[in-house]
Amino acid sequence: MKRVVVGLSGGVDSSVAAYLLKEAGYDVIGLFMKNWHDDSVTISNECPWLEDSNDAMLVAEKLGIPFQVVDLSVEYKDRIVDYMFKEYKAGRTPNPDVLCNREIKFDLFLKIALDLGADYVATGHYCRKAVVEKGEDPVYRLIAGKDANKDQSYFLCQLSQEQLSKALFPIGDLIKPEVRKIATEQNLVTAEKKDSQGLCFIGKVRLPEFLQQQLKPKQGQIVQISENYVGYSNRKTEFDSKHASLKYLSEKFKYQIEDGKVVGTHQGAFYFTIGQRKGLAVGGTIEPLFVISTDIDTNIIYTGEGNKHPGLFRKALFVPNDYEHWVRPDLALKSGESLKVMSRIRYRQPLQEAILHQFEEGLYVEFSQEQSAITEGQFVAWYLGEELVGSGVIS
């Protein structure tokens, strides 16, 4: 009998994943990961991890499977929280959920599971796995979940073949209402529980307060850039090579304070991210202001009015070599090659048509439509059909 360790998070998805595995005849063990100690920055008064671990324990009891809590908060702080602070401080916007899957669930957690004699780890992610035989070795494919509204393949975009080989996604073929229905029929305590929001395993966190633990507020100026800014109309259109054109299209606009007008103040450029609307507290415009650029060195935030402002849009982005990752290494491009794909630059964004261009220094992703709020530090993922084949950190 194959043994599976399920990451029971105290939510309905992982509860049903555990139930389905038990029904399928696996020897199932439930494990709850405690990854966070500091309750001072969570939004609600109740302690989310205590409530969640309790729900996870009740589900395990109901299913008649062994259960334990593992405390990974030290490693979580080292690998996720400290990384987040470092990225925000540098003016980038990290994605803790993608990292959490790569570094915690499918690394540390996987090692614990293997020590318990497990053949696999399972999670409640809405995605699927398939295997193709290529030559000697099986090749593992990461496929989007059947529920298009809930597909979470993007969050797993950094997994390796080794990690995928050990992963099971029992609810990938179900849609959310079906998952809730199973939980209700089995009388699981999590059946009606709301989906968790906020950082992976931290619960609902106020991001500015969370960041203020290490990034001290410092006042700076908010500058509004007009949509008639000269840099938008003076765009180059002629290039010597495709490479030169892609390099130009993926570069962000560089503004100076004199390019616009000062319209307010903020408490620290590193608290803001491209495309952000909330938290600017500047009135007097017909449409809301959006962040179009942040300058950490001068502590200035540049904004534009309305979500169609030209400063928000770019046609291409760049992923340096070190940050390029192929879930399917057998499909990786060689320098000079290109590939038509579907791509997304954030979770839940509808897939966009794009072409990948591989060069010596890294990969350019060229979109057929201009993209809004391409953000440094976030992940771009690319798909062939429903299969996620690679991803990278946006430079």
Which listed residue (47, 100, 127, 157) is catalytic?
A: 100
Number of domains comprising the chain: 3
| Interacting residues of 269 by C-beta distance below 8 A, sequence separation 6+ | 91, 220, 294, 295, 296, 299, 300, 301
pLDDT over 90 at 201, yes or no: no
261 and 140 within one domain: no
285 and 140 within one domain: no
Q: Which of 377, 17, 344, 374 is nearest to 153 (CA)?
A: 344
3-state class (DSSP) for residue 168 = strand
237 and 197 within one domain: no
Mean predicted confidence (pLDDT) in 18-44: 84
Q: CA-CA distance, 242 to 353, in Å (whole number)?
A: 18
161 and 243 within one domain: no
Mean predicted confidence (pLDDT) in 368-376: 98
The domain boundary residue, chosen from 280, 309, 338? 309
Mean predicted confidence (pLDDT) in 53-58: 96
Quote the tokens at residue 199. Answer: 């950082």
- Model pLDDT, residue 378: 97
18 and 92 within one domain: yes
pLDDT over 90 at 44, yes or no: no
155 and 262 within one domain: no
pTM (whole model) above 0.85: yes
Identify whether 100 is a catalytic site residue: yes
3-state class (DSSP) for residue 41 = helix
The domain boundary residue, chosen from 149, 182, 212? 212
Predicted confidence band at 193 (pLDDT cuts at 50, 70, 90)? very high
160 and 224 within one domain: no
- Model pLDDT, residue 135: 81
The domain boundary residue, chosen from 171, 192, 212? 212
Angle between helices 12-23 and 48-63 (to 10 degrees): 20
332 and 238 within one domain: no
pLDDT over 60 at 182, yes or no: yes
191 and 114 within one domain: yes
185 and 120 within one domain: yes
List pLDDT tens digits, range 57-104.
Answer: 999 999 999 999 999 989 998 998 899 999 999 999 999 899 999 999
299 and 324 within one domain: no
185 and 162 within one domain: yes
Q: Residue 290's domain spans which residues? A: 220-309
Identify whether 127 is a catalytic site residue: no
